[in-house]
Amino acid sequence: MIVGRREWVQRIKRNPIRRALRCDKLRLAALEATLRAYLTPQTVDKTLPAYRLISRPLAEIEAMTAKVLAAIECWAERRAKVAVMPGKSQVGSGSLPGATLPTCMIALTPSGTSVESLAHELRALNPPVIGRMQGGKVLLDMRCLLDTGLLLRALRTKGTASA
């Protein structure tokens, strides 16, 4: 979709490559569905998960952190030290490259293994648990958690990959 000053839009309209880049029916249908979802506040959280994550209040993130902390500590026993710390979630890489939102991080500092091995072990769970490796820790950004139940189930699975 091209939006901008009239003079620039007119120049683009005259360019022959414009036909190859025009919106097709599928893109227009997806755009319409997205815009309709934004117009219906009671369904926006269900149909647009990214919107739900971005608009989630910090108090809700803190409550989710408290709900899963004991299970993470149990899983991490002998694997890593666990700490809760404030952090920043990156909103978007392309659309909002510098924008961040406050969040809670669960920091796992490996005990007797590498941060890469600990991250691998988390990814081997079912469903996989994906964190970011930073400063010798695996950080789990709780703003990014869609469902605490899935995380709790993953932490309780048997047969996790060993380092």
Instruction: Write down the pLDDT at residue 158.
Output: 56
Dump the DSSP string for 63-126.
HHHHHHHHHHHHHHTTTEEEEEEEEEEE--SSSSTT-EEEEEEEEEEESSS-HHHHHHHHHTSS
pLDDT at 160 over 70: no
CATH no., domain 57-156:
3.90.1150.180
Instruction: Write down the pLDDT at residue 45.
Output: 67
0.85 surpassed by pTM: no
**Residue-wise pLDDT tens digits, 58-116:** 999 999 999 999 999 999 999 999 999 999 998 876 677 788 999 999 999 999 899 99
Domain ranges of the chain: 6-47, 57-156
